[in-house]
C-alpha cells in the first residue's frame, strides 16, 4: 500500500510540476517568437489590437492561456499561430503534447489497473470462500472465521504488515540486528526467560528467533490453539486480548490488554 501510495504521489507531482513547467516554457517561447518576429503585424499578438498596449505580465497571461489550451487539446481558436515560426513551434508543441499525454495516461492506467486487480482478486477469493461454505453447509461461526481471516490477510498484504518477506531479503547480519531490535524487549519480559542472562537471551534472539519467530495477525474470535491439540508453536501475545476456554460450560477467561503496542501487563507465553 505504501509503495502504491508513493507511486500515486510521484505521478501527481510529476503531472503538476512537469505540466506546469511545460506550460510556462512554451508560453515564454510563444511570446519570444512573436516579440522578435520582423513583422509585428503578422504575429499572434496582433490578433488583438489592445495587446500592444498591455504590460508584460498581462502578455504572459495571454501566452499561458494559449499554451494551456494547446496542452489540454482544448483549442478555442481565439489565439492561434499566424506566421510560419509560430506554426512550426505550435506543431512541435502539439506533437510533444501527444507523447506527454500518452506517457501520463499510460502510467495512471497502470497504477489503476494494479490497484483494481488486487481488489478484484480479493473479491473473487471472498466469493469463492462464501460459495465453498454454503455448498458444504458450514456453521455460521466457521464461515465468519474464514471470511475474517481472508479480510485480515488482504489488509496485512495491502498495508505491508507482513514484515517477514522484507526481512528474508536482507543479509544475516542485518536480520540479526533487526530481530534483536524488534523482539529482544518482548522476549526479555516473558516469564519463561526470567533469570536468563542478557548474553544468553541475546544469542537466543540472534540465532534462533531470527529464523523461527514470525509475526502473525489473528482476527477476533479466531481459534489459535485447540484443546487437546499437540502444540507445535509458542505464541507471545504482543497486542490485543486472548480468551482461554477450558470447556464450553465452565470457561476460564484470561484477558490481556495492550495499548499502542506498549506492554500493559506481563506478556504471557501460550503453549
pLDDT at residue 252 is higher than 60: no
The helix/strand/coil state of 235 is strand
CATH T-level fold of 2-115: Helix Hairpins (1.10.287)
DSSP 96-163: HHHHHHHHHHHHHHHHHHHHHHHHHHHHHHHHHHHHHHHHTT--HHHHHHHHHHHHHHHHHHHTT---
User: What are the tens digits of pLDDT across the range 201-214?
Assistant: 777 777 666 566 77
Rounded Cα gap, residues 112 and 123, in angstroms: 16
Mean pLDDT, residues 210-239: 73
Rounded Cα gap, residues 150 and 55, in angstroms: 65
The helix/strand/coil state of 170 is coil
Rounded Cα gap, residues 137 and 92, in angstroms: 67
pLDDT at residue 249 is higher than 70: no
Rounded Cα gap, residues 140 and 5, in angstroms: 36
User: What are the tens digits of pLDDT across the range 129-178?
Assistant: 888 888 888 888 888 888 888 887 787 776 655 566 777 788 877 877 88
Q: Nearest CA to 15 among 93, 81, 103, 78?
A: 103
What does the domain layout of the chain look like in residue ranges? 2-115, 168-214, 216-271
Q: Does residue 255 or residue 143 have the better pLDDT?
A: 143
Q: Which of 72-86, 151-165, 224-238 has the lowest mean pLDDT?
A: 151-165
Q: Cell for 165?
A: 518477506
The answer to whether 115 and 122 have CB atoms below 8 angstroms apart is no
Amino acid at each position: 500500500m505504501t509503495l502504491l501510495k508513493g507511486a500515486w504521489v510521484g505521478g501527481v507531482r510529476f503531472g503538476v510540476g512537469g505540466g506546469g513547467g511545460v506550460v510556462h516554457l512554451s508560453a515564454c517561447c510563444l511570446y519570444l517568437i512573436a516579440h522578435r518576429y520582423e513583422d509585428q503585424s503578422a504575429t499572434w499578438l496582433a490578433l488583438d489590437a489592445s495587446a500592444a498596449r498591455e504590460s508584460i505580465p498581462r502578455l504572459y497571461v495571454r501566452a499561458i492561456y494559449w499554451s494551456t489550451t494547446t496542452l489540454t487539446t482544448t483549442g478555442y481558436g481565439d489565439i492561434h499561430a499566424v506566421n510560419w515560426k509560430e506554426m512550426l513551434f505550435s506543431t512541435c508543441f502539439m506533437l510533444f503534447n501527444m507523447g506527454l499525454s500518452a506517457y501520463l495516461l499510460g502510467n495512471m492506467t497502470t497504477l489503476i489497473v494494479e490497484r483494481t486487480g488486487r481488489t478484484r482478486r480479493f473479491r473473487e477469493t471472498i466469493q469463492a470462500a462464501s460459495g465453498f461454505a454454503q455448498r458444504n453447509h458450514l456453521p455460521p461461526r466457521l464461515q465468519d472465521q474464514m471470511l475474517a481471516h481472508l479480510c485480515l490477510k488482504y489488509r496485512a498484504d495491502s498495508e505491508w504488515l507482513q514484515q517477514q518477506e522484507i526481512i528474508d531479503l536482507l543479509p544475516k547480519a542485518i536480520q540479526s540486528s533487526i530481530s534483536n531490535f524488534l523482539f529482544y524487549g518482548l522476549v526479555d519480559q516473558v516469564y519463561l526467560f526470567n533469570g536468563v542472562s542478557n548474553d544468553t537471551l541475546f544469542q537466543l534472539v540472534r540465532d534462533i528467533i531470527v529464523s523461527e519467530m514470525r509475526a502473525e495477525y489473528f482476527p477476533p474470535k479466531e481459534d489459535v490453539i485447540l484443546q487437546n491439540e499437540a502444540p507445535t508453536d509458542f505464541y507471545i501475545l504482543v497486542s490485543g486480548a486472548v480468551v482461554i476456554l477450558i470447556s464450553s460450560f465452565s470457561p476460564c477467561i484470561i484477558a490481556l490488554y495492550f495499548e499502542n503496542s506498549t506492554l500493559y501487563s506481563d506478556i504471557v507465553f501460550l503453549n
